[in-house]
Amino acid sequence: MIDISYHDSSDILQGLPLHHDGPFTHIEWFQLLEKYGSKPLITLAKDKEEAVALPLLATLRGATIFGNWYNFTWQPLATPKADHPSLLSALAKDLRRTLPTVHFDKVPEENGASSLIQKAFSNAGWTCFKEASDTNHYLALNHQSYSDYLASRPGQLRSTLKRKAKHVETEILTFFDSVVWQSYEKIYSLSWKGSEGNPALLKAFARQQATHGQLRLGLARHEGQVVAAQFWTVEGGTAYIHKLAHNEAFPKLSAGTILTAALMRHVIDIDAVEYVDFGTGNDAYKADWMSDTRSRFRIECYNPSKPKNWVPIARQYARKLVLHRSAG
């Protein structure tokens, strides 16, 4: 028998032997989100020792993912032997009793997560619309060394590294240092990116990653002055590139490029990762470093028993029809 329950704290996930697929599937991540201002709606389906959970956030429209702009992905959480389709379908069916809409985003498909959600909610009576919402650039190394990897990169990038490397010194920390983190924050404030969205949360996340030995914090210096900083993590054979920043006052140094190369060398030759994940955003420069792209998906689920959803459902169908005709 499947038991369905709802909780307003991510602590309910504590003790469940959940499968982890990157930094944004750990209970510690959800606890950070909760600590720094978000109140979750954790929906849980359990069948004896196995479970599936949807970490959601209640909204005026219904519910959306429990995450923020730092998330690379969002996906259902599950124990290793859980019957994903049946448990997720049971959750979707029960959610129809109370919610008018559920909005999923940043959902990957390489592990089948987006199709699983769409099928479970559709089978439970929701009207669902799925579309690609973002692009993830990533690198599959296939056992390459750093020198092999670099040889496969564009000639212009290799030329820049060869010409500029002598002007910049790099340092990579695998532990958290408050003074170094202040340098990172200063560089970020001087970069084209401006102010950080939630600096306290990001700092706590970096500390958390360092505790598990997963932090890779890089600095680039020119004549002793920090001119670029990057925040990466490593977990489960994948390096995750979270934050890049450089001082706009030193554009000719290409310090960010030099620092990215140094971190690439570290995660490939020392950490021996199999993949590098450049997060979300289809920025052109990412193609210089990465080998492939894949989509992240948005899934809009409407409860058709709610009259206020009939107009948005009709609009979604009309939009799909227009897109289909435009595609020929």
Annotated domain spans of the chain:
3-136+294-326, 142-273
Q: Supply the pLDDT for residue 123.
A: 97
d(CA 127, CA 115): 14
Which CATH code of 3.40.630.30, 3.40.50.300, 3.40.640.10, 3.40.50.1970 fits the domain covering 142-273?
3.40.630.30
Please tell me the CATH code under which domain 3-136+294-326 is placed: 3.40.630
Q: Supply the pLDDT for residue 320.
A: 82
Q: What is the pTM of this model?
A: 0.95
Give the per-residue SS3 of the chain.
CCEEEEECCHHHHCCCCCCCCCHHHCHHHHHHHHHCCCCCEEEEEEECCEEEEEEEEECCCCEEECCCCCCCCCCCEECCCCCHHHHHHHHHHHHCCCCCEEEEEEECCCCCHHHHHHHHHHHCCCEEEEEEEEEEEEEECCCCCHHHHHHCCCHHHHHHHHHHHHHCEEEEECCCCHHHHHHHHHHHHHCCCCCCCCHHHHHHHHHHHHHCCCEEEEEEEECCEEEEEEEEEEECCEEEEEEEEECCCCHHHCHHHHHHHHHHHHHHHHCCCCEEEEEECCCCCHHHHCCEEEEEEEEEEECCCCHHHHHHHHHHHHHHHHHHHHCC
**142-273 shares the fold of 3-136+294-326:** yes
Q: Supply the pLDDT for residue 191.
A: 81
First vs last C-alpha separation in the chain: 48
d(CA 286, CA 263): 15
Residue-by-residue pLDDT tens, the chain, 328 positions: 999 999 999 999 998 999 999 999 999 999 999 999 889 999 999 999 999 999 999 999 999 999 999 999 999 999 999 999 999 999 999 999 999 999 999 999 999 999 999 999 999 999 999 999 999 999 999 999 999 999 999 999 999 999 999 999 999 999 999 999 999 999 998 887 767 789 999 999 999 999 999 999 999 999 999 999 999 999 999 999 999 999 988 989 999 999 999 999 999 999 999 999 999 999 999 999 999 999 999 999 999 999 999 999 999 988 888 777 766 6
